[in-house]
Chain A
Amino acid sequence: MLAAYLYCPRPLAAQKSKPQEYEVKAAYLYNFGRFVEWPASGNMSDNFPICVLGQDPFGSYLDAVIAGEFVNDRKLIAKRIATVRDALNCRILFISDSESVRLREILAAVDKTPVLTVSDTPNFIIAGGMIQFVVVENRIRFSINLAACERASLTPSSQLLKVAVEVRGEASKVNGPS
């Protein structure tokens, strides 16, 4: 075990080339799955599908991020879906910018079902979406609509809320320990 792991000391300025925006967002999608609690209901499949509705901006990044990963012992799989009907079995649903015109329908379709809706469409959480990617100081971050999550019986951990840029519909619950 001489090949000791090295925490390579490197000046901040010399970081490796900045990751692509959707590479980061793909990782975020995966990590949302780790910080959100789904209700223990029966209609869930054995795996953990992350679905992309509409035009897929991730390319191969999403598949690369989730390859061989598990959340709560469920294997992560990536699905590209065309209609919102296919989204009911998804755990996380990324709604592509291409679907912004049909956003209200889509959100209504998955209302009260335990599907975490994520998008980078502006005003997504105002429209009733759960997590919206935003860019703050060149950094990809996100805002959360807690009320929307609660309606869908999803519980984001306080850890997640802590790093959110904005938490909408905040309830007393989120102040509790994670």
Chain B
Amino acid sequence: MSTLRNSLSRKLTVMNMLVSSGALLLASVAFFAYDFVTFRSNLINTTSVQAHIIGTNAVSPLVFNDPASAERTLSALRASRHIVYAGVYTPDGQFFSGYWRQGENSTPVSLPVVSPQETEHYWFQSNQFTLVQTIAFQNKRVGVVYIASDLGVIYARLRSYAIILLAILSASLTAALALSRIAQRAVSQPILRLADTAALVSREKDYTVRVPATGDQDEVAVLVDAFNEMLIEIQKRDSALQENERQFRNLADSIPQLAWMAEATGELFWYNHRWYEFTGTTPEQMAGWGWQAVHDPTTLPEVIAKWRASLGTGEPFEMIFPLRAANGEFRDFLTLAMPVRDAQGHVARWFGTNTDITEQRRSAEALRQTEKLAATGRLAASIAHEINNPLEAVTNLVYLARKQPANVAKYLTLADQELDRIAQITKNTLGFYRDSTSRTDINIPELLQEVLTLYNSKLHFKKITVRPEYAQSLHISGFPGEIRQIFANLIANAIEALPANGFIIIRATRSWIPDGSHRRAIRITFLDNGVGIAPEHRRRIFEPFYTTKKDVGTGLGLWLTLSLVAKHQGVLRMRSSTRPGNSWTIFSVYLPEAPITN
């Protein structure tokens, strides 16, 4: 930090020099001005006195017409080197006698116009000072003295003063420079040592260094002590911080997830070991935005968009996307990133984890398949039951037709009707397990009625009344098989929950998805006056393998229903009461009229 050293030393030196040269200059100027002013007034006084002496001595020469005598008097002016010319004149202005400095042109100078009232008159003109004085004797004007003085003397004197001052000034400044160099060391040296140490600390990040004590008891010593104490404190905190950091990294390396940290700007600067193990990359490859290399190019744009959105808003980041393993295989990861905020609430960095959910996803898919098969099995039983009745009727009708040939046509017509029923049931059943791959328009009331036909005999057997209340023209766009499954599950649950003589109210109306998204929806509610769901079960009934029907259920029905509703971007709600004599359960399904397309 030589610039700082130079700067401080130079400032102190410059300051000293400014002060001393300023004081010297001021004194010099004052001295100079005083001398100039006094010199002028001295010149006037001296010349006036000289004129008076000459005048007094010129009285008798004037009166008795003896220019030679006056000349002798005037010649005394030789001692005043600056007098160029002096002359004595008669009262009527005629030249009487004169004195010329050696080397001057010996011609008399004409007297200028002067008022007779003035006994003395003087003026400065360019390089000359001139004084004219009346010679009086016993109250009578007997002549005039004229003295011209060369101001060159003043200027020569001022010049020599200036030279002397300049010499003094430069000598003083040189001395001041040398002295201030020495003096400023006492002030600047400790500060410079402090500055050097501060620079070393900030450059090397070495907090073990200390500023040497100055040995004085001044403010700088206080500063040095404070700085050293600060260094000790920083050292302590630094080691505590390093310990924390070490613990954190150990922890981060021991969790099964991939973990990382990012700057507030979104650049990742740290990954745990597992990240490098999984991706088979090096820290150099991953620096900054290098993480994009392990993403699936098809999902990457969305990942970047969502990541930037989180960076912009500071909202936690949550997304599932594939990451490429070292062997090239993509696996699905649930990625969560939380902003870490500083004391002011600004996002300082982000901490993120990637959890491999590939296996979970696979097992969940397997479960859904299992439940679908189980549901199919249950349906099969139900269908067998439904078909059994008309089949028995057909068998009876065929028997009757054989016995009573006269009524064959009538029995065959009746058998035909029963067979139509069977065909209808079969057709409805087929709709269930046909996995539709594309969305189609679904008429909700129609679909509800189709599903209900499958449960006719069960409802009849338990003497359950179904009351449908449908609004006009309720359509959605979706997968019919899955919607059918939703309704079937909820109706089957209601039937199972109901005792004999219970009722089910199925209501379908226009509504909105109750998530604040302002999407149009069809709401279908299934209300039964069964025993209700106990509060301790309500929270868990949507979990897989959770069942209260110990021997008959797989515990996957409502879990599957929920996932199917979610697949249609809908919402499933449940409310229930177990109050004796007034117990009930309502399942509400909200299905959007049209899916959100991104």
Assess whether A4 is in contact with B94, with CB atoms less than 8 Å apart.
Answer: no
Please state if A1 and B137 are interface contacts (CB–CB under 8 Å): no
User: Of B18-26, B111-119, B382-390, which binds chain A?
Assistant: B111-119
Size category of the binding interface on chain B: 20 to 34
Most buried by B among A8, A24, A34, A163: A163
Fill in one digit per residue for B112-151: 1 if any A CB lies within 8 Å of its CB, else 0: 1111110000000000000000000110000010000000
A34 touches B64 (CB 8 A): no
A: interface residue count bin: 20 to 34
B365 interface hit (Cβ, 8 Å): no
For residue A142, CB closer than 8 A to chain B, the reply is: yes
User: Is A160 in contact with B60, judged by CB distance below 8 angstroms?
Assistant: yes
Does B66 reach chain A (CB closer than 8 Å)? yes
In the bound complex, residues from chain A placing their C-beta under 8 Å from that of B89 are 7
Give B34-66 interface residues, CB cut-off 8 Å to A.
57, 59-61, 63-66
Of chain B, the residue at the smallest CB distance from A9 is: B110
Known: A9-B110, A15-B94, A34-B137. A4 touches B116 (CB 8 A): yes
Q: Do A1 and B65 touch (CB < 8 A)?
A: no
| Contact assessment for A162 and B69 in the assembled complex, using a CB-CB cutoff below 8 Å | yes
Given contacts A6-B113, A10-B94, are A139 and B60 in contact (CB under 8 A)?
A: no
Q: Is B479 in contact with chain A by the CB < 8 A criterion?
A: no
**Nearest Cβ on chain A to B426's Cβ, whole angstroms:** 150
CB distance from A73 to the nearest CB of B (A): 10
User: Is residue A35 within 8 Å, beta carbon to beta carbon, of the partner chain?
Assistant: yes
Within 8 A of B (CB), among A33-58: 34-35
Contact A139 B65 (CB under 8 A): yes
Q: Indicate if B92 sits at the interface (CB-CB under 8 A).
A: yes
Per-position binary interface string of chain A over residues 14-34, scored 1 when its CB falls under 8 Å from any chain B CB and 0 otherwise = 010000000010011001001
| Cα distance, A177 to B511, chains bound together (Å) | 141
Shortest CB-to-CB span from A128 to chain B, Å, is 22
Does A171 reach chain B (CB closer than 8 Å)? no
B18 to chain A, nearest CB (A): 56
A64 within 8 Å of B (CB atoms): no
Assess whether A28 is in contact with B92, with CB atoms less than 8 Å apart: no
Which residues does chain A contribute within 8 Å of B92, judged by CB atoms? 7-8
B535 CB contacts on chain A under 8 angstroms = none
Q: Does A80 contact B (CB under 8 A)?
A: no
A127 located at the interface, meaning its Cβ lies under 8 Å from any Cβ of chain B in the complex: no
Render B87-111 as a binary contact track against A, CB cut-off 8 A, 1 for contact: 0010011110000000000000011
Residue of B nearest to A8 (CB): B93
Kindly provide the distance from the CB of A1 to the nearest chain B CB, expressed in whole angstroms: 6
Q: What chain B residues lie within 8 Å of A60 (beta carbons)?
A: none
Question: How far does the Cβ of A78 sit from chain B's closest Cβ, in whole Å?
Answer: 19
Chain A residues numbered 136-165 whose CB sits less than 8 Å from any CB in chain B: 139-142, 157, 159-160, 162-163
Supply 18 A–B pairs (Cβ within 8 Å), ascending by A: A4-B113, A4-B114, A4-B116, A5-B116, A6-B113, A7-B112, A8-B92, A8-B93, A9-B93, A9-B111, A24-B65, A28-B64, A31-B64, A34-B138, A140-B65, A142-B64, A163-B61, A163-B63
> Using a CB–CB distance below 8 Å, which chain B residues touch chain A?
57, 59-61, 63-66, 69, 89, 92-95, 110-117, 137-138, 144
